[in-house]
Chain A
Amino acid sequence: MNKVIHPIEPEELMAYLDGELTADGASAAAAHLGECAECQTLVAELQSVSQSLKSWKVEPPEPAMPSAIETALAEKQPESRKLIPVPKSTWREVLGRRWPVLAWAGTAAAVLLLVFGALTPNLLRSRSSVKSSKSQMSTYLVPESAPPSASPTVTPRASGIVAGVIAEKGREQGYITRSLSAGNSSVSEQEDKSEEVEPLASSVPPVHGPMIIRTAQLSLITKEFDKARTNLEAILKQHRGFVGELKVGGNAGSGRTLTATLRVPADQLDGMLADTKKLGRVDSESQGGQDTTSEYVDLQARLSNAHNTAQRLTEILRNRTGKLADVLAVEQELDRVRGEIEEMEAERKTMLNQVSYATLTATITEDYQAQLQAVPPSTSTRLGNAAVEGYRNMVEGILSLALFLLSNGPSLLLWSAILFMPVRFVWKKVRRSFAS
């Protein structure tokens, strides 16, 4: 093959066409291209490919902004605008600004409701209008009594509930997604609708952005161990945290160690660290963060798809008749999807909890200094101690004897009674023999 020397690689020529070369590289490529017919052919081929690809055009989408986006914007806007100028915060603004707290509150509310649901299953079952064979499904998909378009008060509520989950056509068809038990809906419906949006929405926080699981480790040495421990608890309370695990080792008067796993709201971690450092001398400190954004987005999307699949299967069960085998197959598939949804919900909640609350592992070690007793005890003290010791020994001796008698007396009496006659007989015989 007749090889021609080309100072420019073909990939570089392509990059030149794509505008990806530096100014120097581009001028070199252009200069070579001007005098090399082979490279001109290659460039023409590349351009031809791009031109061919451009022939695949897609029709423009609907120009109007979808109602779901309008609704999401409407929900978002007041919250964002309240962030800027308000000098004194009301509880609503605090909740809007501190979404991790909101998330935690929602999760706590969800847990409470679940516990409540578990304690009073009959009550909740009686309130649920869903048939018992499909009651498990109603945990996730509850048909609205009226379509959202016909009831403007329902739309924000539904979209608030599904805020964290990617809602698709289910919303349009009057379905709302709930991560809580069926009983929750009946309890919530008794409250004012505008009030119930927040706690329910906060249980499924709409997070797609950076979700960082923050961890920190802090090791301190202090001379005032007890004071440090008390202060640590006060600091934890101040930063709205809680103790995950706490261990104290060592005896009083010797070097003690406290190891605590503390959970604090993620936005409070820095303040918590700063305050904790004041408790003693910092021996070591480390911080870490794990970005779980992509995992969370992926999980939400999978969850949304699972909900959609469950919804479709429920529709099939409701609207279509067929062979028993087909119905059973759909039921089986529905059970499987439900299981997946439950697993993903649990995973999502765990992830949210980890993101909302940072983990601080604090170790506080007592800086103990052993002290010598330079002054020996006085004579009177020693005499007093000896007297106390003597009395204690006497009491111990009496007590020991009494204990011995109580424990072995019955046995001694028994053996005495058994052996008395034989011994007496032998004794008399011996005496007689000596006498004769």
Chain B
Amino acid sequence: MAADVIEIGTISDEALMREFQGGSRPAFEHLYERYRGPLYGFFRRRLNGDQRAEDLAQEVFLAVIRAAEHYEPTALVRTYLYGIAMNLLAVERRRIAKDSPPGKESPEPATREAADSVLWIRQGLEKLDDSEREILMLREYEQLSYAEIADLIHLPVNTVRSRLFRARMALKAHLEPGRTISETAAASESRENVGLARAEGEAI
């Protein structure tokens, strides 16, 4: 079958998805190969337990298989996958919150080698506002664009940009023990004052 011969790396996700819709198993295998790591990382960084992360990443692919017939290319495949992942994550978090008493969940480093630095980063992320943390993680770890993030969490792009900036500044303050968030904010205030005077609706 001609559709079975696919050169990985040369075909976009969307084309692979279309091939898969047409019944090509190799196309799905390529998609799986591309996204199994990122999706596993998505869940691994947000939940405790590598097995659960693997299960949920697997659920994303199962959802793709089941919905392949009805998939319509209204968004990037990447956004589609992370959209499913976000839904599953929300459900999982609700379940965890229901099953375990508050405060029971303890941070668990994702890697043993870099336990200290990871713990440091995780503590910084934990201190962030939920929305800001999610935006920062989607940008830094999932490498999503502002528009993709906005699409996923249903916020305007400018809001995403503002929150991402705040999150980075807040994390910077945490990672620099000698410098507080207020100092960081004050340092950027002078620039913002001038910046706001410029055309406000200027699009990126």
| Contact, CB under 8 Å: A69 / B62 | yes
Q: Which of B54, B65, B72, B139 contacts A18 (CB 8 A)?
A: B139
Nearest CB of B to A24, in Å: 10
CB contacts under 8 Å to A, within B174-188, are 175, 188
B87-98: CB near A (< 8 Å → 1, else 0) gives 110111011000
Instruction: Report chain B residues within 8 Å CB of A105.
Output: none
A340-368: CB near B (< 8 Å → 1, else 0) gives 00000000000000000000000000000
Instruction: Report chain B residues within 8 Å CB of A58.
Output: 40-41, 44-45, 110-111
CB contacts under 8 Å to A, within B34-54, are 36-37, 40-41, 44-45, 50, 53-54
CB contacts under 8 Å to B, within A353-394, are none
Known: A49-B168, A80-B23, A301-B91. A166 touches B175 (CB 8 A): no
Which size bracket describes the interface of A in this complex? 35 or more
Nearest CB of A to B19, in Å: 11
Shortest Cβ distance from A6 into B: residue: B191
Nearest CB of B to A234, in Å: 31
Instruction: Report chain B residues within 8 Å CB of A297.
Output: 63, 84, 87
Instruction: Report chain B residues within 8 Å CB of A4.
Output: 190-191, 194
Alpha-carbon distance between A42 and B66 when the two chains are bound, in angstroms = 47
| Contact, CB under 8 Å: A20 / B145 | yes
| Contact, CB under 8 Å: A99 / B87 | no
Nearest CB of B to A186, in Å: 28
| Contact, CB under 8 Å: A166 / B59 | yes
CB contacts under 8 Å to A, within B6-28, are 21-23, 25, 28
| Contact, CB under 8 Å: B204 / A15 | yes
Nearest CB of B to A298, in Å: 6
Q: Which of B87, B94, B194 contacts A6 (CB 8 A)?
A: B194
| Contact, CB under 8 Å: B204 / A22 | yes
Among B69, B90, B194, max chain A CB count under 10 A is at B69
| Contact, CB under 8 Å: B28 / A80 | no
Shortest Cβ distance from A4 into B: residue: B190
- Asked if A229 lies at the interface with its beta carbon under 8 angstroms from chain B, I say no
| Contact, CB under 8 Å: B65 / A11 | no
What are 29 A-B residue pairs whose CB atoms fall within 8 Å in the complex?
A: A6-B190, A9-B198, A15-B204, A18-B145, A38-B191, A54-B140, A56-B45, A58-B40, A58-B110, A58-B111, A59-B110, A60-B37, A62-B54, A73-B65, A76-B68, A80-B23, A81-B23, A99-B69, A164-B66, A166-B62, A166-B63, A207-B70, A208-B67, A208-B70, A209-B66, A210-B72, A297-B63, A298-B90, A302-B94
